[in-house]
């Protein structure tokens, strides 16, 4: 329970910091060494007045990550069921 509460607090603090200066928050995030070789795209838009808040690398096609995996997993579970086992055949022709 403490981990969940801590996670919520960190998210709320991040949102409040990001809301004050979104462009600087994004630049600070991208400046971290662990993200130098990452492909990151950000597009945040205010839906109440249709204004752009922050955008970065918006014209680059990126491979979907975790959300796409959830959709694929849901479809596989719905189609095959939770007890299905994939079979992988291995063939060898040579020495």
The whole-angstrom distance between residue 73's C-alpha and the CA centroid of its chain comes to 16
pTM above threshold 0.85: no
- Would residue 15 be called left, alpha or beta, if left means φ above 0 and alpha means ψ between -120 and 50 degrees? alpha
d(CA 36, CA 48): 33
The predicted structure's pLDDT at residue 26: 82
The predicted structure's pLDDT at residue 14: 55
The predicted structure's pLDDT at residue 21: 80
Cα angle for residues 4, 7, 12 (degrees, 5° grid): 125
Full pLDDT tens readout for the chain, 95 residues: 555 555 555 454 555 555 568 888 888 888 888 888 888 888 888 888 888 888 888 898 887 667 778 888 888 889 999 899 888 888 878 77
């Amino acid at each position: 329970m403490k981990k969940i509460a801590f996670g919520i607090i960190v998210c709320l603090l991040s949102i409040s910091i990001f809301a004050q200066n979104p462009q600087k928050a994004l630049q600070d995030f991208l400046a971290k060494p662990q993200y130098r070789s990452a492909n990151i795209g950000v597009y945040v838009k205010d839906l109440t007045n249709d204004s752009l808040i922050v955008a970065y690398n918006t014209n680059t096609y990126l491979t979907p990550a975790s959300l796409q995996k959830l959709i694929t997993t849901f479809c596989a579970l719905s189609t095959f069921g939770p007890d299905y086992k994939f079979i992988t055949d291995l063939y060898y022709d040579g020495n």
